[in-house]
Structure 1
Amino acid sequence: MESQFLGIDEIAETPAVAVVVDVMRAFTVAAWAFGRGATRIVLAESQAEVLALKARNPGWVAIKDGPPAPGFDAVNSPGLLRSLDLAGRTVVQKTTAGTVGALAVKEASLVLCASFVVAEATARLLRARACDDVTFVVTGEGGQADEDLACAQYIARRATGAGTGAAEFLRRADKSRAADELRQGVREGVHPDDVALCVELDRFPFAMVAAPEDSLMVLRPSAVPSPEETGHRRAAAPHVRLPGV
């Protein structure tokens, strides 16, 4: 598998396969939403679109970055979201980086949204689909967010079937600027457990696939082959192109 790692602004053409990574916190939150029973997540382009969709669909759950705001039901925090009952609900999510990254590659034939909590499931789906050329979209800090890059690199290596350990990648995420900002309260709408939840490995057994549905970009959980089905097909070590290299 050939992998490249790009920031959102570095995407010059539609990739064949895109894995959009936002560890802190969009796609950790998305995974928790599915874990709490949500059936789908609509990735919105703006907060105005979220509110418009919510107005037309009062039963939908609206999520945004930052502090609570009128019209929104929750904020982009896994620690705060984990107590909600979302069984059978549609969630509408707008964040600063994650949803923007997913919408930037919406024309790709396969779009996966990922974080550490679904890392192994994401890697197994890439193996099962025999993806040869994968673009990892590093959404934070113009493609330089170390928590997102670490997660992307880890998934890329796991997707080859290699027995790559997670400890160093998780350490990088835990020591990242985003983690420090969450701990120090620089960002609003934060729970004290957010960083720990964002660096929890493989909490959920599903991957998350985004695809157009009725003019909306919709994220859904996807079952993946078992480790026994994918674990024996080892590939060569990935060819990695880091940003700026």
Structure 2
Amino acid sequence: MDASFLGIDDVTRTPQVAVVVDVMRAFTVAAWAFARGAEKIVLSGSLDESLALKARHPEWVTLKDGPPAPGFDAVNSPGLLRSVDLGGRTVVQKTTAGTVGALAVKDAPLVLCASFVVAQATADVLRAGGSGSVTFVVTGEDGKADEDLACAQYIAQRAAGSGTDAAEFLRRGDESLAATELREGVREGVHPDDVALCLELDRFPFAMVAAPEGSLMVLRPRTVPPTDLPRRR
């Protein structure tokens, strides 16, 4: 597999396969939303778009970065979301980096949204599809977020069939600027367990695939049946 690792602004051509990585916290939160029963997640381009969707669909659950705000039902925190019942609901998610990165590659034939909690499942989708060239979009800190780069590199190695030890990649995530800011309360809308939850390797057995549905970019979970996977040596 030919893997490249780019920041959002560095993606100048539509990739064949894009893996958009946001560990802290967009795509950890998205995975938790599916685990709590969400049917789909609409990736929103702006807060105004989120509010407009909520106005048209009052039953949808709106989620954003930062502190609680009028019109939004939840914040972008896995620790806060893990106790919310989302059975059968549609979630509208707008974040600073993750959703921006996914929308930047919305025309790619395959878009996966990833974090450590779905790392192996994401690698399995790449292996099952025989992906030759994969662009990993490192969303945080203008492409410099080490927790996102570490996760991307780990998934790339797993997808290539390497029996990679996750410990060093998780250590980088734990020592990243994002983890420090979450622990020290620099960011708002945070639960004390957020960093630990973001570093739970392979907590969930599904990958997350984003694709256009009408005018919206929609994220849904995907599980690769074991029979569809290449045998590992």
Query: Does structure 1 residue 140 correspond to structure 2 residue 140?
Result: yes
Separation in 1 of the partners of 2:8 and 2:71?
Answer: 28
Cα RMSD, aligned residues only: 0.9
Alignment deviations for residues 12-54 of structure 1 (CA, whole Å, 9 cap, x no partner): 1100000000000000000000000000000000000000000
In the alignment, residue 186 of structure 1 is paired with which amino acid? Answer: V
Q: Contact conserved, 1:28 with 1:116, CA < 8 A, in 2?
A: yes
Query: Does structure 1 residue 109 correspond to structure 2 residue 138?
Result: no
Q: Contact conserved, 1:123 with 1:156, CA < 8 A, in 2?
A: yes
Q: Contact conserved, 2:128 with 2:230, CA < 8 A, in 1?
A: no
Alignment deviations for residues 38-72 of structure 1 (CA, whole Å, 9 cap, x no partner): 00000000000000000000000000000000000
Alignment deviations for residues 192-230 of structure 1 (CA, whole Å, 9 cap, x no partner): 00000000000000000000001100000001132x753
Separation in 1 of the partners of 2:225 and 2:65?
Answer: 33
Query: Does structure 1 residue 52 correspond to structure 2 residue 47?
Result: no
Q: Where does structure 2 lack aligned partners over 5 or more consecutive residues?
A: none
Q: Contact conserved, 1:125 with 1:225, CA < 8 A, in 2?
A: no
2:223: which partner in 1? 223
Correspondence list, 1:60-99, <5 A: 60-99=60-99
The alignment's TM-score, normalised by the length of structure 1, stands at 0.94
In the alignment, residue 150 of structure 1 is paired with which amino acid? Answer: A
In the alignment, residue 205 of structure 2 is paired with which amino acid? Answer: P
2:149 partner SS: helix
1:200: which partner in 2? 200
Query: Does structure 1 residue 166 correspond to structure 2 residue 177?
Result: no
- Indicate the percent of aligned positions where both proteins have the same amino acid: 77
Query: Does structure 1 residue 6 correspond to structure 2 residue 6?
Result: yes
1:162 shift after superposition: 1.1
1:155 partner SS: helix
Number of aligned residues: 233
Alignment deviations for residues 76-100 of structure 1 (CA, whole Å, 9 cap, x no partner): 0000000000000000000000000
Q: Where does structure 1 lack aligned partners over 5 or more consecutive residues?
A: 235-245
The alignment's TM-score, normalised by the length of structure 2, stands at 0.98
